[in-house]
Amino acid sequence: MTNASVATSPPATGYGAALVRALRSFTLLRESWVGMIGAAIVLFWVGVAISAPVLSPFDPNATVMPLQKPGAEHVGGGTFWLGTDHLGRDILSRIIWGSRTVLYYAPLATFTAYAVGIVMGLAAGYHRGWVDDVLSRISDIILSFPVLVLYIVIIATIGASGVNIVIAITFASGPGIMRIVRGLVLDLRNRDYVAAAQTRGEGSWRIMLVEILPNARGPLIVDACLRMGYVIITIGVLGFLGLGLPPPDPDWGGMINETRQMAMAFPHMTVYPCLAISSLILGFNLLADGVREISLRD
Amino acid sequence: MASRSEGPVLEIKDLNISYYTRAGEIPAVIDFSLSVQRGETIGLVGESGCGKSTVAMAIMNYMGANGGIKSGEILFKGRDIVRMTGDELRRIRGSEISMIYQEPFAALNPSLTVANQLMEVPLVHEAIGRQEAYARAVQMLTDVRLPDPERIMKAYPHQLSGGQQQRVVIAMGLLSNPDLLLLDEPTTALDVTVEAGIVKLIAEISRKFGTAQIYISHNLGLILETCDRVFVMYSGEVVEEGTINSLFTWPRHPYTHGLFGCIPLPTANKNAAPLQPIRGQLPLPHERPRGCNFGPRCDYFVGGHCDAGKVAMEYVSDAHDSDHRVRCARFRDIDHSAYLKPKNVREAAEVGENVLEVRDMQKYYELRDASIGAMISGKGVTYVKANEALSFSARRGETVAIVGESGCGKSTFAKVLMGLETATGGEIRHEGRDIGNVSVHDRTPEQLASLQMVFQNPSDTLNPSHTIGHQISRVIKKFGVETDKNKIHERVMALLDTVKLPRDFYFRRPRQLSGGQKQRIGIARAFAGNPSMVIADEPVSALDVSVAAAVTELLMDIQREHRTTLLFISHDLSVVRYLADRVVVMYLGQIVERGSTEEIFDPPYHPYTEALLSAVPIADPEVTKREIVLEGNLPSVTNPPAGCPFVTRCPRRQGAICEQQRPPVQLVSEGHAIACHIPLDELRAVEPVIRVPSEDERAHA
């Protein structure tokens, strides 16, 4: 008919096309300057984390010169741009290496929390009935604990390590995500295209994952960006409480915890890690705002 | 109120409205002029996107942030609304100009009683006391014919039915005794029998209160019943205006002719007089052609003449009415009688053996009341009888329509048929196999493929996350029609050809498609597995008239070609009259009448069928209807009447027998059955509801 070339070849599918689409949707972000600032901050930290070995002037765990003010010169050459801590470690280097920790564990924990929350939410919202009752009551029970208490109990029970932090965060935020997903699914399951899928005999997991989930992505992406910020706070708080990653590897929350008693005398030891955490969270929050702004526009 | 007697209430002169978007300035309304006298009702008719709602918003001077009145005047009682300050506008809106919107439940505040909301109107705009405001509100509720106004005053909006809510909204609009009432599709969200009551009320208002009204609708039939003058809009311009009589009898613009060709009239039949869809699509505002906007879709288009420049409104000189104006460069050259002759006459489809047999099918929903009171009284479980004892059959190649208002159980029946629900009792035999109790999970791929559905809502029918090609391919793969990747692709292309869409739609996503195009894809998807039967649940009710006509015709062409049985679910009797071979009328979960289309539309009628027929708006001034307006509301399905389901609203109620006993199913002929206590002879004596004049009686012949 009109387009003979189209008729002859099946369409290009696969990862290449998906990647192009993903990149194209990312360029949409240019229309929101708030989102662009957020993305810039996040990308800045990602860049820092990737090039940590190049950027950091000192070994983050090496004792060089204790209690130096920001800008002090090292006798053996080099500058402590942000000073050193009470053990003589260069704070800039620790912040740079610490970004690796946080940008590794925060997305990982968010991802696993989402994996659990989405599966639970899909099942509860799509099947309703007793599945919904059981899953919703479980999430009610978890949500009824103060989060901090929950973290302390979990980490105290299974020990402080990177993997256990991920487990604790997944356990505590999975139910919240499940609630969001369930609400979205309750609406989407009544759409005609879901009925069409049912009447052509699709299995329920296919309907949930292929027909329903992609249409819930808008609110979920916004929530994921915001939640990433909360997870970064949580990792910081756990570090601050001494439940974070075991020393000596740099961890922003841990850095604040170790030096907080000296904050009056040496504010730089706590202020700079605090700024690092805040800026990253701000970046994710602005990114979330930008994504929301764009998704509302269409 | 001295200014009332002099001059028109509203006069719009050369109004131009534009929207400003990222794509630049988009003219939404061009050179619009209109005047409304006191007590006059003006109809604005046109398809979505023609600018009719923009005009209404401009009259209220309530344009969005991106809309602006570019030039022209809107004189309301001599004062220009465009130049009014915010304070002046606030004084006028709601007191001198009122507006009534499409959805009554969105117009009422759910957390305030009706009394609060009604009394607010005079309290805000006039210096009167609460008692007087209350008295006025009660009086107004009586005037809009709401029974028991004192009770309604105390009620919250959710305690009222849709029709009652719309009456309250109309009462609210009239309370301040406005000079102008704007009605924007006030009955679109309502059922036909309820609509008939509201339309009657709207027609009474101007007579009783002398209010000038502007009635916006896409439905020519409703315009005919309510208005004195009508303006037909197309792509931002008025293309034709005139009195109801003149414009409906002697339409002069090809677009107006086109609109009439798109709506099934009571005389029409799908084989003898098929609908004539307007080809092409409404141009996007920034892609309007030079000259006549309708040019690219017009059969009488002449290059160099029609696209030479702006076409002005001209008086139809030979007219039977000097007030009739049209915006067409060639209206004198067009043979207007040619439009009346049926084209593309088809032969009736061959009807084969029974494909579907439904016998005593029941579907009950259990309602569990978990309260302590229910546990003590032992009434923990009640049943909603969504379908009760349905029996009918459908043959190969035949179109069977199920007609009824919302809540009559027609969609529940479709769900049971599709296997999304299972029947509580009785049987449904499709191609000989009982499927009533087989849920969709237990059906074989062939069974699934042979029974498919076209859904109602175009925005919902396709998954927005996947391409068109992907969605149709999936159906073909799932049903095992083809397995090879290239063959599947070929089949998708063939289906796109069948539904008359370009092949590059394969890569499009649903958001890039218009409503009509989405419905076409929905049809392609339903026919992908070569079904023996397709259920269409109001497939065109959400579409514009010209698009609906095209989709209806397409659906019937494909059905004929494949000899598919079509089960057409609808509330619109004019569409049903047009395309169905046989009709099943449902009320409150039960079949009250079934028979061939001719049998249903002629006496003897079931009293409910009679009322439904009377409620159908017909866009033909020479067709006369007997007026039957149903009182009351649909009873609750949890507590239906013990006897005849229709007894609470039936104008031909016989007395106690109707309330206590199930009506017997009386056979008029083989295939035509009426469930009613009234003897058949008496029903036969009823005169026809719709009287269509014969061809030589007609004025335009």
Each residue of B292-319: b (16+ CB within 10 Å) or e? Answer: bbbbbbbebbeeeebbeeebeeeebeee
**Least confident among A193-197, B227-231, B685-689:** B685-689
Closest residue in B to A192 (Cα) is: B461
- Whole-angstrom distance, CA of residue A161 vs CA of residue B171: 69
Summary mean pLDDT of chain A: 85
Provide mean pLDDT across the span A63-87. Answer: 79
- The CA R_g of chain A, rounded to the nearest whole Å, is 23
Provide mean pLDDT across the span B188-199. Answer: 80
B667 vs A294, residue with greater confidence = B667
Q: Whose structure tokens read 């179109």?
A: B399
CA distance B476 to chain A (A): 10
Residue in A190, A193, A294, A295 to test binding to B, most B beta-carbons within 10 Å:
A193
Predicted local confidence at residue A10, as pLDDT? 47
* 3 state DSSP class of B363: strand
Beta carbons of B121 and B176 less than 8 angstroms apart? yes
What interface predicted TM-score (ipTM) does this complex get? Answer: 0.81
Q: Name the residue type at position B25.
A: E
Residue B480 has pLDDT above 90, yes or no: no
The answer to whether the Cβ–Cβ distance between A215 and B465 falls below 8 Å is: yes
**Residue B286 contacts A where some CB pair is shorter than 8 Å:** no
Residue A184 has pLDDT above 70, yes or no: yes
CA dist A104 to A50, A114, A158, B23, B327, Å? Answer: 11, 16, 20, 42, 68
Q: What is the pLDDT of residues B593-648, one digit of tens each?
A: 999 988 888 888 899 999 888 888 888 888 888 888 887 777 777 778 888 888 88
Provide mean pLDDT across the span B584-599. Answer: 90
A contact set with B (CB within 8 A): 1-3, 6-7, 10-11, 191-193, 195-202, 210-211, 214-215, 217, 298
Beta carbons of B57 and B63 less than 8 angstroms apart? yes
Q: Whose structure tokens read 């117009």?
A: B107
Query: Which tokens sit at B536?
Result: 């269409």
Predicted local confidence at residue A122, as pLDDT? 95
Beta carbons of B637 and B386 less than 8 angstroms apart? yes
CB within 8 Å of A253: residues ≥ 6 apart: A235, A236, A237, A238, A239, A240, A244, A273, A277
Q: How many residues does chain A have?
A: 298
Predicted local confidence at residue B471, as pLDDT? 92
Closest residue in A to B539 (Cα) is: A192
Closest residue in B to A207 (Cα) is: B463
**Helix axis angle, A147-158 to A162-188, nearest 10°:** 140
Q: What is the pLDDT of residues A205-230, one digit of tens each?
A: 999 999 999 999 888 988 998 898 89
Which of B440, B489, B490 has its CB closest to that of A199? B440
The answer to whether the Cβ–Cβ distance between B525 and A6 falls below 8 Å is: no
* Band of residue B200 on the pLDDT scale cut at 50, 70, 90: confident
For residue A197, the chain B residues in CB contact (below 8 A) are: 463
The answer to whether the Cβ–Cβ distance between A6 and B418 falls below 8 Å is: no
**Residue B131 contacts A where some CB pair is shorter than 8 Å:** no
Residues B449, B454, B459, B460: is their CA dihedral positive or negative?
negative
**Least confident among B248-257, B347-356, B565-574:** B347-356
Residue B602: phi, psi to the nearest 5?
A: -125, 155
**Least confident among A2-6, A18-22, B334-338, B478-482:** A2-6
Provide mean pLDDT across the span B400-420. Answer: 87
Q: What is the pLDDT of residues B493-502, one digit of tens each?
A: 999 988 888 8
Beta carbons of B582 and B599 less than 8 angstroms apart? no
CA B89 to chain centroid:
33
Q: What is the pLDDT of residues A191-208, one digit of tens each?
A: 999 999 998 888 899 999
Provide mean pLDDT across the span B251-266. Answer: 85
B86 vs A7, residue with greater confidence = B86
Closest residue in A to B467 (Cα) is: A11
Residue A135 has pLDDT above 90, yes or no: yes
Provide mean pLDDT across the span B648-660. Answer: 87
Each residue of B271-288: b (16+ CB within 10 Å) or e? Answer: bebbbbbbeeebbebeeb
Residue B446 has pLDDT above 80, yes or no: yes
- Whole-angstrom distance, CA of residue B642 vs CA of residue B575: 32
- Whole-angstrom distance, CA of residue B157 vs CA of residue B56: 26
**Residue B366 contacts A where some CB pair is shorter than 8 Å:** no
For residue A211, the chain B residues in CB contact (below 8 A) are: 463
* Band of residue B340 on the pLDDT scale cut at 50, 70, 90: low
Which of B449, B453, B469 has its CB closest to that of A11? B469
Q: What is the pLDDT of residues B144-176, one digit of tens each?
A: 878 788 888 888 988 888 788 888 988 888 888
How many CB atoms within 10 Å of residue B638?
11
Residue in A192, A213, A295 to test binding to B, most B beta-carbons within 10 Å:
A192
Q: What is the pLDDT of residues B10-26, one digit of tens each?
A: 889 888 988 887 777 88
Closest residue in B to A8 (Cα) is: B490
Q: Which of B183, B203, B184, B330 has the alpha carbon at shortest distance from B257?
A: B330
Residue B271 has pLDDT above 80, yes or no: no
- Whole-angstrom distance, CA of residue A216 vs CA of residue A198: 19
Q: Which of B467, B465, B471, B458 has the alpha carbon at shortest distance from A215?
A: B465
Residue A67 has pLDDT above 80, yes or no: no
Provide mean pLDDT across the span A100-114. Answer: 92
Burial level of B678, CB count in 10 A (0-12/13-18/19+)?
buried
The answer to whether the Cβ–Cβ distance between A10 and B486 falls below 8 Å is: yes
CA dist B46 to A125, A226, B235, B286, Å? Answer: 41, 46, 9, 19
Q: What is the pLDDT of residues A168-183, one digit of tens each?
A: 999 999 999 999 999 9
Summary mean pLDDT of chain B: 84
CA dist A202 to A193, A196, A214, A216, B458, Å? Answer: 12, 9, 16, 19, 21
- Whole-angstrom distance, CA of residue B484 vs CA of residue B463: 24
Which H or E run contains A142?
Answer: helix A129-143
- Whole-angstrom distance, CA of residue B104 vs CA of residue A54: 66
In sequence order, what DSSP letters do the residues of B230-277 get, joined into one string?
Answer: EEEEETTEEEEEEEHHHHHHS--SHHHHHHHHHS--TT--TTTS---P
- Whole-angstrom distance, CA of residue B233 vs CA of residue B29: 9
pTM: 0.84
Predicted local confidence at residue A175, as pLDDT? 94
- Whole-angstrom distance, CA of residue A99 vs CA of residue A92: 11
Residue A7 has pLDDT above 70, yes or no: no
Predicted local confidence at residue B320, as pLDDT? 55
The answer to whether the Cβ–Cβ distance between B455 and A215 falls below 8 Å is: no
* 3 state DSSP class of A90: strand
Beta carbons of B541 and B570 less than 8 angstroms apart? yes
Q: Nearest 10 degrees: CA dihedral of B618, B624, B625, B626?
A: 170
**Residue B419 contacts A where some CB pair is shorter than 8 Å:** yes
The most confident of the ranges A40-49, A254-263, B416-425 is: A40-49
CB within 8 Å of B566: residues ≥ 6 apart: B398, B399, B400, B533, B534, B536, B555, B556, B559
Query: Is the omega angle on the peptide bond into residue A248 within 30 degrees of 0, that is, cis?
Result: yes
Residue A13 has pLDDT above 70, yes or no: no
Residues B526, B532, B536, B537: is their CA dihedral positive or negative?
negative
Query: Which tokens sit at A184?
Result: 């979205």
Which of A6, A198, A211 has its CB closest to that of B503? A6
Query: Which tokens sit at B297?
Result: 């879709």
Q: Whose structure tokens read 């080809």?
A: B279
* 3 state DSSP class of A159: coil
Predicted local confidence at residue A283, as pLDDT? 93
Q: What is the pLDDT of residues B107-134, one digit of tens each?
A: 889 899 999 898 988 888 888 888 999 9
- The CA R_g of chain B, rounded to the nearest whole Å, is 27
CA distance B517 to chain A (A): 15
Provide mean pLDDT across the span B217-237. Answer: 88
Q: What is the pLDDT of residues A237-261, one digit of tens each?
A: 888 888 877 777 788 888 888 888 8
Q: Which of residues 489-508 of B touch A (CB under 8 A)?
A: 489-490, 493, 497, 502-504, 506-507
Q: Count Cα neighbours of B542 within 13 Å in the Cβ-side half-sphere.
A: 17
Burial level of B633, CB count in 10 A (0-12/13-18/19+)?
middle
Predicted local confidence at residue B343, as pLDDT? 65
